[in-house]
Amino acid sequence: MNTFAKRESLPAVTAAGIVAIIFSVFAAFGCLMGGLGILLMPQVQSAQGRSPMPPNARNVTEIFLLFFLALAVFGIFVGVGVLRRRNWARITVLVWGGFMAFFCLAIVAFSLLIFRTGVGLDLPNGSGTDVSQVMGFMRVFLVLFYGIPAGVGVWWLILFTRKRVAIAFTNPLPKVVVDASGFPQPAPSSAIPLRKGPTCPLPLAIVAGLLIFGAVFLVFFMFVPLPSDIPLFFFGHSFSGSTPRFVFVVFGLISGATGVGIFKLKPWALYTQIVFQFIGILNCLIAAFSPNYPQVMRAAIEKMYSRNPALAAGSPLMSDGYFRSMMILSTLMLVAVLTVLLWQRSRFLQQAAAAAADRI
């Protein structure tokens, strides 16, 4: 009598793992090409008689390319983990799928809104027809560029939350016994089924992943040599100098700590993030309707551009409507996160209480 393990065939899971690997390979290739372009840019600009990119701007670009390259390499390992049915890879894909779906759909909606007209776009020697054509191209390009990963993110969320798929990742391979006649029979199992321990609800796990991911970017502001200080607009008041960097780092550390706390089922982390979202929503609404906010941001961007001769022409998107649209988009994102936190609060507290009882 022979015993062997048989894995259930799940073509959709295999396809999802391959797609994750392909996306990661393309992202890694793009980062490498971007890094090569940064290395060759001084020679190209000198040959064309153009001013080189400032060293600070190059350093910022290189740091972010290196960070995204590390993420892309990690994504390849995640894709391989999905193909090998590793549960950590399934959880990672769910978090990343939620991230892609949420932000890419938000960017698509914002792009359709801001590029529906030529407001704020200044084309040298361009007519109204030229502006309209550019707007149409940008809408199509951005919908395709961000719509595809958004669709993939939604697909991953649906696929990897199905009970059959979750079981395939969490349960060991079923053993099959081949008797003397050659017919396979299920092997008798004497194993005692394990009780599933308390876990963070999936929507909150996705939010926690976003908090940790965002915390990394906020902490970067302390160490990255930006070409000019980014102003902090807080409840109608503008702060510049070293204050924004310090505040961004503090916010990043708190976001990262609460993200880890939510994963570990700590109630304090959930309530801290709820308070943070309320403060963020109120601050964004004040900025969106403040007459000073567009002026402050425009002055900061013009100052940054004046230090970079390659960008002397300025930004094509400098209108008040653009800046206010950014704040409205940020408000909608914060409202979405707050909705998830409040919606899953009771489930989270139940799991947290069960986890605390297990530790006693």
The per-residue pLDDT for range 254-277, each reduced to its tens digit, is 888 999 999 899 999 999 999 999
Rounded Cα distance, 113 and 22, in Å: 31
pLDDT tens per residue, range 226-244: 555 567 788 877 777 777 7
Number of domains in the chain: 1
Q: Mean pLDDT, the chain, as a whole number?
A: 76
Q: How confident is residue 94, by pLDDT bands cut at 50, 70 and 90?
A: confident
pLDDT tens per residue, range 103-113: 888 888 777 76
Average pLDDT (11-35) is 88
Virtual torsion, Cα 263, 94, 280, 119, nearest 10 deg: 170
Other beta carbons within 10 Å of 307: 13
226 lies in some domain = yes
349 lies in some domain = yes
Residue type, position 71, single letter: L
13 lies in some domain = no
Least confident of 11-15, 24-28, 241-245, 302-306: 302-306
269 lies in some domain = yes
286 lies in some domain = yes
Average pLDDT (136-144) is 78
28 lies in some domain = no
pLDDT tens per residue, range 319-342: 667 777 778 878 888 888 899 899
Nearest to 90 by CA among 160, 23, 21: 160
pTM for the model: 0.68
131 lies in some domain = no
Q: Give the model's pLDDT for residue 4.
A: 45
Residues with Cβ < 8 Å from 336, sequence gap 6 or more? 102
% of the chain residues with pLDDT over 90: 12
Q: Which comes out higher in pLDDT, residue 60 or 37? A: 37
The domain of 324 spans 201-355
Q: Which comes out higher in pLDDT, residue 153 or 95? A: 153
Nearest to 334 by CA among 282, 291, 269, 263: 282
Q: How confident is residue 304, by pLDDT bands cut at 50, 70 and 90?
A: low
3 lies in some domain = no
Rounded Cα distance, 273 and 286, in Å: 20
**Whether the predicted pLDDT of 122 surpasses 70:** no
**Whether the predicted pLDDT of 53 surpasses 70:** no
